[in-house]
Amino acid sequence: MSTSSETVSNTPSGAAPDASSGTGPKASSEAGAPAAPVRGTRLTLAGASLGRPGTTALDQVDLDIAPGEILTVVGPSGCGKSTLLRTLAGLLSPLAGEIAQDGHPLTGPSADRALVFQEDALLPWRTLRANVELPLAIRGMPGAERRRQAQTWLERVGLGSQARQLPHRVSGGQRQRVQLARALAGRPRAVLMDEPFGALDAQTRAGMQDLLVEVLQGTGATVVFVTHDVDEALFLGDRVALLGAGGLVAVRDIPRPRERGAYEAPARVALRRDVLTSLGT
């Protein structure tokens, strides 16, 4: 199913994420700045049918994800949100149509695109810092430099003092911070996030949302963030893509500023009502 006539332009008016007023851990100036920002990547789907042979989850999807934007994706369970993410990661091939990165066919996984799951997927025998170092080690970065960069990212997510802890010694929210640090340490051009905060309690989840916006500042990365939570989608995203049974229903711009208090702003209330109506909830 193609995008409905209500869909707004697939090119956002402001792709770069703005500042959050949240209360998540602050980036540490003492840690030193990470490497220079990467250039965000453009991801496009043209007439794309997604799924597995014999089972189409999404049909005839047209979507243009701009470099540096945060696109949130919402929809009911089983509508194909995770299928979309795994296709953009290169783990699934499209059944039909075209998937491209910066105009070139997307043919498989790449270090340019990091995938973040709801489960933290940390290696239990490696310290928090060693987990963050992993993508840097795979790229062949010398040990001293990768330890420095891993420590910098742990500082940015508020865990610099716990670098030597093993994953089972920290909370679920802290493990998710480590997973975020690990994903960004590899300097990907796109970060694909599959309900990464879904298992967290409400307070921890809100803190992680604030932290995500904060640490993305200056990275330049394009973000596709899948969630069941409409409020989370409207807080984090520059745009929100609505998936329904079999296809893309609409893509909507999200009004700014990105602030907790903006939930009650008339434009945000109207968009929330519109999204819920479009999703049939």
Domains of the chain and CATH, by start: 43-119+189-278 (3.40.50.300)
Q: Which residue has the tokens 């993305």?
A: 216
- Here the tokens at position 21 are 């007023």
Amino acid in the structure at residue 265: A
pLDDT for the residue 10: 42
SS3 content of the chain, % helix, strand, coil (to 5): 35, 20, 45
Both ends of the chain: CA-CA distance in Å? 20
pTM over 0.85: no
Secondary structure string (H, E, C) spanning 156-190 = HCCCHHHCCCCHHHCCHHHHHHHHHHHHHHCCCCE
Nearest 5°: the CA angle 14, 267, 41 is 20
- The two three-digit tokens of residue 184, written as one number: 């960004």
Give Cα 209 to chain centroid, integer Å.
Answer: 11
Cα Rg for the chain, rounded, in angstroms?
A: 18
* CB within 8 Å of 78: residues ≥ 6 apart: none
Written as six digits, the tokens of 279 are 């999703």
- Find, among 133, 70, 12, 76, the residue nearest to 275 by Cα: 76
Distance (Å, rounded) from C-alpha 69 to C-alpha 63? 13
Q: In this predicted structure, what is the pLDDT of residue 217?
A: 82
Structure confidence at residue 9 (pLDDT): 37
Task: Using the Cα atoms of residue 93, residue 197, residue 190 and residue 112 in order, give the sign of their dihedral.
Answer: negative
- 255 exposed, middle or buried (CB, 10 Å; 0-12, 13-18, 19+)? middle
Structure tokens belonging to residue 215: 């640490």
What is the C-alpha separation between 221 and 247, in angstroms, rounded? Answer: 26
Q: What is the pLDDT of residue 31?
A: 39
| Tens-level pLDDT at each residue, the chain (281 residues) | 333 333 333 444 344 433 333 333 433 333 344 455 567 899 999 999 999 988 899 999 999 999 999 999 998 888 889 999 999 999 999 999 999 999 999 989 998 999 998 888 899 999 999 999 998 998 889 999 999 999 999 999 999 999 999 999 999 889 999 999 999 998 899 999 999 888 888 888 999 999 998 888 878 899 999 998 999 999 999 999 999 877 888 899 998 877 777 777 788 888 888 888 877 76
Nearest-CA neighbor of 233 among 211, 253, 247?
Answer: 253
Whole-number Cα distances in Å, 31 to 28, 149, 154, 158, 204: 5, 9, 9, 11, 24
Helix ranges (H only) for the chain are 81-88, 128-138, 143-156, 172-185, 202-216, 230-236, 266-278
